[in-house]
A and B are shown apart, each in its own frame.
Chain A
Amino acid sequence: MILKFKEKLVKICEEFTDIKFEFHLKKWHTDFLRFYQSQTNYNISKSSLSLSTTIRKGKRSYGFSLDNPTEEALREKINEVEKFIDDLPEDPDYVDMEANCEKTAEIPKQDNRLVVDLEKKIEILEQLSEAVASLNYKIYGTFICNYNDTYIVNSNGVDKHEMNSPIALEVKAVNQETEVTVLETFGGENFKSFDLPDFRDSLVRKAEAGNNEIVDLEPGKYPVVLAPRCIAEYFMYLMSSVSARSLDSKMSFFEGKLDEQVFPKNITITDDPQHPDMMKYDYTSSGHPYKKMKIIEKGVFRNFIVSNYYAHKLKMKETGSEASALVMDTGDKKLSEMIAGIKKGIYISSLHYMNFINAKETSLTGLTRDGTFLIEDGKITKVINNLRFTEKISRIIENITEIEDKAVTIPFSQNYGHFGIDSYRMPHVTVNNFNITSTTGTI
């Protein structure tokens, strides 16, 4: 049915010559299990069918969306817009919509809501719950399977289809006496790569470490080992400076730094939407083929992310990248070696509530969460109450001294606006002089 409606959109594009259209037709489902205290919190199933439309006439534009769209409702809206679009102010920067009609080879994918149904999810959660129960932990978290089917059609002949079905499992084990929390995650589109025994054993190892003595740590500068999801989050925030939009709004840290050495030579970051272990994307939101692109290469800043609009506005080349699938090159250290090299420092498992103080300077504040550990004489010895840092991302990256020899995929749910799941692939890193500015005094 959605395909038939998409064909109608193509016809509408052909029919009108004085106005141009850009359509995003999206069918979306989620099966979402949220659990707490080793039991169901709630199960949610949601579905939607929506059409987002932008109509352009010259340099004027108007946008609207329709839920559960019909051709009749769409034509009625188009008629309405035709009556007033000439009265709207122009956007002097607008040139044209996406014109790249290249299609990528469609790889058949399965609907993971059917692969990992509610019964299967509960079976897995029961095993994880049982594994940590003897350590006085219960499990909390989410088990999500989404299904997205999207068509992008416009008057320049763009007619693209993309389907994906991400899975995200996030399990927090919480000690029922101390509230020490540890985290394990799985994400991707291939459930065959989910190794339950490995996931369970890792969660148990972390829970065991969480049963050590809890201490406070004085503010100061410490060497830290950042878990992959932490360095992933810093790069995620830094990506706001990589967009051409940030360049246009004078908020980019990278302004004037293209092809300059901005970070140490061991830092290479690639946006790789076809990586086999990640959530995969074929197209950007405008329908441009989404291709692998180096953002930072051996510490040199190589590319801004340039959409069709900003390519025209800033006279830059459209890049076909959205920084939704970042991969960091691995180094040559084992995690055990990284920890062994620290006399007194911190292992940080996860970050919480980061916000920029000044995005152009990359200064921000945030907290540790879900397992912060003291490293003494090369070993993890104690649990630390959560800590606040006030840092610059640029300085954190400059201070990376060691990189792990393997990387893992970390899922991130995009929780504002439309719910989606992205993934990054990162190793552990060691960072010197990490600026802890206060303790929370709580786990």
Chain B
Amino acid sequence: MKKLVNDILNKTKAMGVTFADVRFTSTDQETVYFEKGSLKHFGRAMDSEAIGVKVLIDGCWGFAGTDILNMTEIDKTIKLAVNNAKTGAKFRAQKIKYTPSKAVQASYIFQPEEDPFLLDDQIKLNFLENVAKKLTTDPRIVYSYAYASFYRQYKVYANTEGTFVDTIVYDVLPSMYVLASNGKETMSRTFPGHMNGRRGGFEVVRRLEMEKNTAIIMEEAIQLLDAPRIEEEKADIIIGGGHLALQLHESVGHATEADRIFGKEISYAGKTFIKPAMLGKFQYGSPIVNIYSDSTDKRGMGYHPVDDEGIPARRCDIIKDGILVDQQTSREIAPLLKLEPSSNMMASFADDIPLIRMTNFCLAPGKGSLKDLIADTEHGYLVDHTKTWSIDDNRNNFQFTTEIGWKIENGKINGIVKEPTYFGITPEFWNACDRICGPEEWEMHGTFHCGKGEPGQTMHLSHGVAPARFRNIVVNVKA
């Protein structure tokens, strides 16, 4: 593969490129899916190979990718990338300036404790079938599923600066869901929640204790049918880790992708309320809020030796003591903001163009346990397990609904509420954060499904968070 990648690079050099890089990916994916206790899908897509060629010519990017890996098609792909840049340059007023970077040679292999692709099929099938069948044992649960998806990707990245890096990573996505009905209404519960992606192998599935949690989510879904809704206009809320990961993702992660500042994502994903002048000054959150992007953390799915444009992995403070100090950037965007590239350019597969993406985007822990935080709350709600999420074009106005909320009275849980829905404006909300739990509650959550770009890409990425409290939040939005 090294020879093929270098041959492609040499061909691009002969075509007058300012810069070029070549990526190769070979991806294995497997899914086991049980619905209402029966196996509905078991399948694999193995050795799914792709090549992508990105070139900078005349101050314009050109990209082409293919999964048809023969020399005729590869040569065609190189020519298409070059033609896309040259022709695209005719409709390009500002020539792209590109920050050079040092050459990196590295290799990284993540070794799971239990490789899901080597594990006997029957072990995986039996494990999930057992979980799935338990979800069907109460007639009030009218629909249920349990599944796990396994992913392994071998990637080679090389560029005309002399960087050559190859990696192998493993990710896993386990989930189960129940829907309870009383004939009039339906209520759902999932486990482990919306942000259920993790780096690792089958050991991740085992550690979740899905079987033990089947009874809990079934009972909660049934109880939710008769649970009240939140009635007061505003309340203090504690957001559990699984859902807070999504809150962080939507209202800080995407908002601080700097390609949005320059309108490069207006046509699909949207813009951001952040302007360049806010950097170093803007009070994004309260002084206890510290948020960073860290592609050096091997626990998360966002780890890499270099990103998909050859920038070495970095940890960057994005919000420090509540102040917006940096952005997630690329080599092209960073100099426009007088920043260093943050190592956030990623693509899902080699035949996708890299975009500014979250890697491991985390909220730093504070102090204390969740139990302490609940005890410290006179009146409010603990909300967790995402049901609905929506945020505006500028990542400013958001509204989330979780599957379940727990009412807190005088520092104690006192019953549940259904579909708690809260609304906020991003900076007001993060400035209302007055406590974040400590390292003992901090955990990496993650997703396989962060959508961005056109043609669309879905990215694997992680969020480290601990539960946190937000004061005086609007909680009674209803349809």
Contact = CB atoms under 8 A, between A and B. Distances in A.
Given A65-B48, A172-B266, A47 B73 contact: yes
A363 B451 CA distance: 23
Contacts of B80: 45
Contacts of A125: 91
Interface stretch (A15-23, A33-41, A260-268): A33-41
Given A62-B42, A93-B38, A441 B266 contact: no
B383 to A, nearest CB: 14
B266 A174 contact: yes
A442 B81 contact: no
A204 to B, nearest CB: 19
A87 B50 CA distance: 33
A39 B91 contact: yes
A44 B63 contact: yes
A352 interface: yes
B112 interface: no
A349 B142 CA distance: 39
Contact of A48 (B351, B353, B387, B397): B351
A388 interface: yes
B66 interface: yes
A435 interface: yes
Interface string A35-57: 11111111111111110001000
Interface stretch (B283-291, B298-306, B417-425): B417-425
A126 B88 CA distance: 12
Interface stretch (A101-109, A285-293, A353-361): A353-361
Given A42-B61, A89-B39, A386-B393, A37 B262 contact: yes
A172 B266 CA distance: 8
B67 interface: yes
B129 A435 contact: no
Contacts of A367: 390, 392-393, 397
Given A122-B91, A250-B142, A251-B179, A364 B42 contact: no
A357 B62 contact: no
A88 B478 contact: no
Contacts of A62: 42-43
Nearest to B425: A441
B470 to A, nearest CB: 17
B186 A419 contact: no
B88 A40 contact: yes
Interface stretch (B156-164, B312-320, B357-365, B454-462): B454-462
B67 A50 contact: yes
Interface residues of B, number: 84
Nearest to B65: A46
Interface stretch (B101-109, B267-275, B431-439): B267-275
Given A36-B266, A91-B38, A179 B271 contact: yes
B362 to A, nearest CB: 24
A61 interface: yes
Nearest to B180: A250
B68 interface: yes
B390 A49 contact: no
B259 to A, nearest CB: 9
A249 interface: yes
A57 B101 CA distance: 55
B60 interface: yes
B64 interface: yes
B179 A48 contact: no
B405 to A, nearest CB: 14
Given A40-B92, A119-B87, A250-B179, A88 B389 contact: no
Contacts of A144: 454
A401 interface: no
B96 to A, nearest CB: 10
A116 B289 CA distance: 50
Nearest to B62: A43
B391 interface: yes
A107 B288 CA distance: 64
Given A64-B45, A357-B401, A249 B143 contact: yes
Contact of A437 (B61, B270, B387, B423): B423
B399 A388 contact: yes
Interface in B117-140: 121-122, 125, 129
A43 B479 contact: no
Given A251-B143, A355-B389, A386-B393, A67 B43 contact: no
B73 A172 contact: no
A392 interface: yes
Nearest to B84: A43
Given A91-B40, A364-B479, A413 B454 contact: yes
A222 interface: no
Interface string B76-90: 010011011101111
A42 B397 contact: no
Given A142-B454, A442-B396, A36 B267 contact: yes
Contacts of A388: 390, 392, 397, 399, 423
A419 B456 contact: yes
A366 interface: yes
Contact of B84 (A45, A64, A141): A45
Contacts of B69: 68
26 contacts: A40-B61, A42-B63, A43-B85, A44-B84, A44-B455, A45-B80, A46-B455, A48-B351, A49-B68, A61-B42, A84-B121, A87-B121, A88-B39, A89-B125, A90-B38, A172-B266, A251-B179, A363-B479, A367-B390, A388-B390, A388-B423, A392-B479, A413-B454, A415-B451, A416-B458, A441-B397
Interface of A: 30, 32-50, 54, 61-65, 67-68, 84, 87-93, 118-119, 122, 125-126, 140-142, 144, 170, 172, 174, 179, 181, 248-251, 352-358, 360-361, 363-367, 369, 386, 388, 390-392, 395, 413, 415-417, 419, 435, 437-443
Interface of B: 38-50, 60-70, 73, 77, 80-81, 83-85, 87-94, 121-122, 125, 129, 142-143, 179, 181, 186, 262-264, 266-268, 270-271, 273, 351, 353, 387-394, 396-397, 399, 401, 419, 421, 423, 425, 449, 451, 454-456, 458, 477-479
Given A118-B83, A179-B271, 4 more contacts: A36-B264, A37-B93, A47-B65, A415-B268
Closest 7 CB pairs of A and B: A63-B43, A415-B456, A43-B84, A363-B479, A40-B88, A440-B397, A419-B455
